Structures are given as structure tokens and as C-alpha cells.
Structure 1
Amino acid sequence: MKTGVRLPVVMRGYHRQQVDDVLKRISQALDGGPPMPADEVRQTRFTIVMRGYDRRAVDELLRECIRELQVVAPIGERPGRPRAQPAWLMNWIQNARFSGAGTRSGYDVRDVDAFLDRVIAGLRGAAPPVTARDVRESAFRVVRFGPGYDEQEVDRFLLQLAGALER
């Protein structure tokens, strides 16, 4: 979502604080914060007040935000996709590949791989199940010189994984 978007204020429009609150939640979701389903944005209604945001401009911006939220949504929530099944989910996790961090710092390869192995073991029933909360709260050692995965790629993958595990 474009940051710093200035919406026009009109005589009668959407309640500015309500719109700002929703846009803030969307921005956080797109930046890796708590997820916000696109359907929730679609169902949002604003109070019409004097000196509010232009309704047409807000509606247009929200349509764009919905498209962006669908792109970052867990795979099972994307339009036209079936819900993830455990066998499919295990296969998806096992086939995940992350770029190396190169000269930048990155997540320790062994830590990330061990955590994903633990998730798969939980899905198979060979270990306690890993919850979406466990995935969101996972932390890995950061390595500077050594085998490390690109942190942003791993974080994006883990957000999708947490969303899939919530279902």
C-alpha cells in the first residue's frame, strides 16, 4: 500500500478516524504484522459525517488494498484456491527454498531447517503440533558469516505458514 496517501476531505464523507484506523491495520498486515483478511476489508463500513474523506477516493484505495492483501494472503486464502490439506502443506514446507543471505546477515540455516522439520513432524502426528502462534513467535539465530537464509524470504514464508495452520 502506498504510504502517505492523502485522501481528499469533502463536505459529507467517510469518518476520517475510522478510515485511518483501517488503513493503519492494512499497512501493518502488508508489513508482516497481524494478518487482515481481504474479506474483512470488503465488509468494513464507515459512518458518513461532515468533513469526512471523499467516499469514492476511499473506496478506490480500499480496492487496491484488497488486491495487495490477496497477494500476501496465505496460499489457501487466495481467490480460486482450495484450502490447504496437511499432506499438501507438508509437501509445500518440504519444497520451500530460500535464497542465501550472501554478505548480509541472515537466519541460521540449521535453526530454520530444524524448525520446519518440527512443523512437519507435528503435521504427521510424530510430535506435538506446532500452532500458528508458535510459527509467528519463532526466532532464529542471526549469522553474519556462515550459511544463512534471507530473513525477509523466511519471514514471508512463515507468515503464510501461520495463516495455513490457523485453518
Structure 2
Amino acid sequence: MELVNRRGGRGTVAHTDDSAAAGFDRVGRGDLGYSPKQVEKFMAAARAYLEDSSAPAVTSHQVRMVSFDAVRGGFDASEVDAALDRLEDAFARREREELIERSGEEAWLREIGQLAGVLRGRLARHDGERFRRPSSQKAPSYQVQDVDALCVRLLDYLENGSPMSADEVRTAVFRTVTGQEGYEETQVDAFLDRVVELMAAID
């Protein structure tokens, strides 16, 4: 069965009056959507932890990396992804508040500074040199110019505070090329996940 992965991941969910609580629209019977059973199970666990910190923990990283099987007539992926984005932001804020309460604001700033430094190091590389190229000549890859353009904006965000949101990174779309014409998709996606992690923690 095809596995549908969300990049990104990718608002607020301090309350639970959105589609995560009420259910999601389904796609047509012949179309692919996210497995309702898997989505409902994950959302229930996330809501439980939001409402009661003694419940089994769910982290912003788990929300960002969760994936669901694709099934006929499943939940609309765009609706589920939007709810997951809001959940991720809510958990990131909660984790920031808990870290500050537990260890002080300096500890949070130190953690954010370390992550920002790691990300900045790659963003500051020259165009065409920020990520590796696929080893397979037939593998799909992201067009270098598209990825580099986003990286330039991200560097401006980190160094100069230029306006940019985590959602812009979550929803970034790159043209696809083949093999070493582009950057390896998995490395770019993993890096952008860390960028979203940082932005969600700061905003």
C-alpha cells in the first residue's frame, strides 16, 4: 500500500473546535485520502495530551513526521495537513513554555541559538552547493534554483529578521528534475523540517 508522507509538515490549536475534533471531509470513493482510522487515532492521542499533560506525550516532532496510509475514500489530505500544522505549532509553543519554566529563558535561548547556528551554516553555502546530489541518475530531485531561492530567503529571515512564516516553508513547492541535475529530495526535506521546528519554536 502506498504510504503518504507529509512534509512539514508543515495557527493555533490551543482549543479543539476544529476539524481535528469534528472529523474531516472524505475524498471521492475512488480517490485516495488518508486512512480515517489512523488519523482519528493520532488526533485523539494529540488532543488528549493537549488537554491533560499526564496523558502519553506527543511532541511537535512526532506531529511533523507522522504519516498515514493512503486509502480509497479516505480523509481529505489538505484538511488533515492543515490541522496537523496547527497542532505542531501548539505543541512547539507548549514545549517552549515547559523548557522556560523548567530551565529558564536562557536555556531556551541557548537551544534555539544552537539550532539556528546549525541551519545558518548550510544556508550560507554558495548557490548550487547547499545539498548533496542524488547518487542515482534516474532519481527525482529538486531543482537547485528553486531550493536555493528559498534558502536565500531563510538566511535573510535568520540574519535580518525579514518577515517569513513557518507555513511558507511547509507549503514550499519545488520543480522536479532528474538525478544530479537537482538536490536530493530527502536531504532537503529533512533540513526544511528542522527549519520549521526552529520557526515554530520562535513564533
TM-score in terms of structure 1 length:
0.50
Higher relative contact order (CA 8 A, sep 6+): 2
**Which structure has the greater CA radius of gyration?**
1
TM-score (norm 2): 0.42
